[in-house]
């Protein structure tokens, strides 16, 4: 039984496909989404909207017919399309008596603790005034965020949901939810209504599929649900074409695919997960075992250092075969770790001429364990 009655904040993500029409934007769809968000607000929820569509709209404005792949051109399209997108939302929300605000984000804004705190405070202020903040990626400045596997708005919406403590993330798309196969080709494929654990089987159902102008597919949506679930936030993937879909979801009706929330990680752990890593340390089997038992990482267990990073940066922790084991906040920079790696702490004392005693590279509370898809 879905029960979202204790949810206060909902993040709604709208994809490019849903908004697109022959002429550029489907005004009716935008109006309908804004009307539905007004309904959610009427039910007492605070709503954050994450919208794609800037690149597609900009491309159409420039007369491009096919997917734009050249990154500077995608950025140019985003710069042209974003104000068009906002003007449609502004008009549609105005009809509902709702003010809107534009929030353009790069991943760095989330990574940096100070900008992240500023963001939280300003968005909380907007929400407390009844404004609907409308988020999109700041594609004009963030190249990694457009067209790359890490840069779709599905992922961004999950990070926003996680960082803004939302209880529910709704990913509106052009199909009913997650199917066990391709319903157009496979007669046995059926809609999955509920997912508890996002395991390999669930991921295998969600083969990546995109359309001309959008970035994500079902896979990015399922991965987004995983990010949200780690922040104790439920996710529903549903069709934006279904009438009154948002209110139906919020009432707990069985619409689309519902992904259960899981135990919340601490703010610090979420910050570590959502922070892009600056480099990596490779550790040996012994160290991996120690880390699994929640012990600190000592220099003797490090067998390699990758990249250049500072003390306090987030780094990846790789096993001896290079597979991702976790992400951690490092207590030393890459140069220091390169010097101390493989040595016992008393040797490191001699090397650095300091009787430090405890040369742990990071403590257990500064490590979040996970794999390539979750970190
Ligand atoms: N930020 C991109 C845009 O507004 C969309 C990225 C995505 O499709 O996920 O066009």
Q: What is the pLDDT of residues 40-58, one digit of tens each?
A: 999 999 999 999 999 999 9
338 plus 256 within the same structural domain:
no
Sign of CA dihedral 235, 240, 246, 252: negative
- pLDDT, tens only, 355-374: 877 789 999 989 999 877 66
Asked if the model's pLDDT at residue 151 lies above 70, the reply is no
256 in the same domain as 155: yes
Residues 54 and 13 in one domain: yes
Q: Ligand 1 in contact with 142 (CB < 6 A)? A: no
Contacts of 112 (CB under 8 A, 6+ apart): none
14/95 same-domain check? yes
Q: How many CA atoms lie within 13 A of 334 on its CB side?
A: 18
Mean pLDDT of all residues in 145-171: 80
- Expressed in angstroms and rounded, the spacing between residue 153 Cα and the centre of ligand 1 is 6
3-state secondary structure of 66: coil
Least confident of 18-22, 214-218, 311-315: 214-218
The two tokens of residue 82 are 């974003």
- For tokens 């979420």, name the residue: 270
Please report which residue ranges of the chain form alpha helices under DSSP H. 16-19, 27-42, 54-61, 71-95, 107-111, 113-128, 153-163, 200-205, 218-230, 245-250, 267-274, 285-292, 334-340, 345-352
Give yes or no: residues 238 and 285 share one domain: no
Q: Is the pLDDT of residue 170 over 50?
A: yes
| pLDDT computed for residue 193 by the predictor | 96
| Residue 3 lies inside a defined structural domain of this protein | no
Question: Looking at residue 373, what is its pLDDT?
Answer: 66
What tokens does 217 get? Answer: 């597919």
Atom of ligand 1 nearest to the CA of 137: 1
Residues 263 and 287 placed together within one structural domain of the fold: no
Q: Which residue, 87, 304, 52, 75, is CA-closest to 157? A: 52
* pLDDT value for 34: 98
Across 145-168, average pLDDT: 78
pLDDT at 256: 96
Q: Are residues 190 and 300 both part of a single domain?
A: no
Domain of 305 in residue numbering reads as 277-369
Closest atom of ligand 1 to 154 CA is 9
Ligand 1 contacts CB of residue 20 (under 6 A): no
Residues 259 and 123 in one domain: yes
Q: Which of 30-44, 212-226, 260-274, 344-358 has the lowest mean pLDDT?
A: 212-226
Q: Are residues 188 and 88 in the same domain?
A: yes
Give this prediction's pTM: 0.78
Q: Ligand 1, from 17, 18, 25, 52: best to mutate by most atoms within 8 Å of Cβ?
A: 52
Is 80 inside a domain boundary?
A: yes
**The token pair that represents 181 in the structure block:** 């196969």
Residues 6 or more apart whose CB falls under 8 angstroms from that of 271 comprise 113, 116
**What's the pLDDT at 230?**
85
In a domain, 110, yes or no: yes
Residue 209 pLDDT more than 50? Answer: no
What would the pLDDT profile of 269-311 be if each residue is shown by its tens digit? 878 887 889 999 999 999 999 999 999 999 999 999 999 999 9
Among the three residues 270, 290, 316, which one is the final residue of a domain in this structure? 270
Same domain flag for 359 and 313: yes
- Residue 4 inside a domain? The answer is no
Answer whether 313 contacts ligand 1 (Cβ < 6 A). Answer: no
Rounded CA gap, 143 and 145, in Å? 5
Q: Tell me, what's the pLDDT at 272?
A: 87
Judge if 108 and 210 occupy the same domain.
yes
Which residue in 39, 34, 37, 40 sits closest to 7, CA to CA?
40
CATH number for the domain spanning 351: value is: 2.30.130.10
Q: Which residues lie across from 327 on neighbouring strands? A: 316, 368
Would you say residue 374 lies in a domain?
Answer: no
CA of 152 to the centre of ligand 1 (A): 6
The pLDDT of 255-276, averaged and rounded, is 84
Does residue 355 lie in a domain region? yes
Q: Give the distance (Å) from ligand 1 centre to CA of residue 177.
A: 20
Q: Which range has the top average pLDDT, 13-27, 84-98, 134-148, 229-243?
A: 84-98
Q: Do the domain assignments include residue 1? A: no
Q: What share of the chain is helix, strand, coil (3-state, %, to 5)?
A: 40, 20, 40
* Cβ atoms 371, 327 nearer than 8 A: no
Total structural domains within the chain: 2
CB 278 within 8 A of CB 310: yes
Of 167, 191, 174, 173, which is closest to residue 257 (Cα–Cα)? 191
Q: Is 152 in the pocket of ligand 1 (CB under 6 A)?
A: yes
Residue 2 within a domain? no
pLDDT above 70 for 144? no
Give the pLDDT confidence score for residue 216 in this predicted structure: 54
Of 20-24, 33-37, 339-343, give the lowest mean pLDDT range: 20-24
Q: What is the pLDDT of residues 325-343, one digit of tens each?
A: 999 999 999 999 999 999 9
Question: Can you tell me the distance from the alpha carbon of 341 to that of 354, in angstroms, rounded to the nearest whole number?
Answer: 16
What Cα–Cα distance (Å) separates residue 139 from each residue in 20, 76, 81, 153, 274? Answer: 18, 9, 11, 11, 18
Q: CATH code at 207?
A: 3.40.1160.10
Ligand 1 centre and the CA of 7: distance in Å? 27
What is residue 211's predicted lDDT score, i.e. its pLDDT?
A: 39
Domain termination residue (choose one: 227, 247, 270): 270
pLDDT at residue 118 greater than cutoff 70: yes
Domain boundary among 254, 270, 286: 270
Same domain, 254 and 315: no
The rounded Å distance from CA 353 to ligand 1 centre is 52
Rounded mean pLDDT, 78-101: 97
How far is 11 from 158, CA to CA, in rounded Å?
A: 8
300 ligand 1 Cβ < 6 A: no
């Amino acid at each position: 039984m879905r029960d979202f009655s204790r949810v206060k904040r909902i993040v709604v993500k709208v994809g490019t496909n849903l908004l697109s029409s022959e002429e550029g934007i489907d005004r009716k769809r935008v109006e309908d989404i804004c009307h539905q968000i007004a309904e959610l607000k009427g039910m007492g929820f605070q709503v954050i909207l994450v919208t794609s569509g800037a690149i597609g709209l900009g491309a159409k404005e420039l007369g491009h017919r096919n997917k734009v792949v050249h990154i500077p051109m995608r950025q140019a399209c985003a710069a042209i399309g974003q104000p068009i997108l906002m003007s449609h939302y502004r008009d549609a929300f105005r009809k509902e008596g709702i003010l809107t605000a534009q929030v353009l984000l790069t991943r760095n804004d989330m990574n940096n603790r100070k900008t992240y705190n500023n963001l939280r405070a300003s968005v909380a202020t907007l929400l407390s005034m009844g404004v609907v903040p409308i988020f999109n990626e700041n594609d004009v400045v963030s190249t990694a965020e457009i067209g790359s596997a890490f840069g779709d708005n599905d992922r961004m919406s999950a990070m926003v949901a996680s960082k803004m403590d939302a209880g529910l993330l709704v990913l509106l798309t052009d199909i009913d939810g997650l199917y066990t196969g391709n319903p157009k080709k496979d007669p046995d494929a059926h809609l999955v209504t509920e997912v508890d654990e996002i395991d390999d089987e669930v991921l295998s159902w969600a083969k990546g599929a995109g359309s001309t102008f959008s970035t994500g597919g079902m896979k990015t949506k399922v991965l987004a649900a995983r990010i949200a679930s780690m922040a104790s936030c439920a996710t529903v993937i549903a069709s934006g074409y279904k009438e009154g879909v948002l209110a139906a979801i919020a009432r707990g009706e069985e619409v689309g695919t519902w992904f259960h929330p899981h135990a919340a990680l601490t703010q610090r752990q979420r910050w570590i997960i959502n922070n892009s890593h600056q480099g990596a340390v490779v550790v040996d089997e012994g160290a991996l075992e120690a880390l699994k038992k929640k012990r600190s990482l000592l220099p003797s267990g490090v067998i390699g250092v990758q990249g250049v990073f500072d003390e306090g940066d987030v780094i990846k922790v790789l096993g001896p075969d290079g597979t991702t084991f976790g992400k951690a906040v490092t207590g030393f920079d890459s140069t220091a770790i390169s010097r101390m790696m493989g040595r016992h702490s008393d040797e490191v004392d001699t090397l650095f001429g300091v009787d430090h005693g405890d040369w742990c590279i990071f403590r257990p509370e500064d490590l979040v364990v996970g794999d390539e898809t979750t970190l």
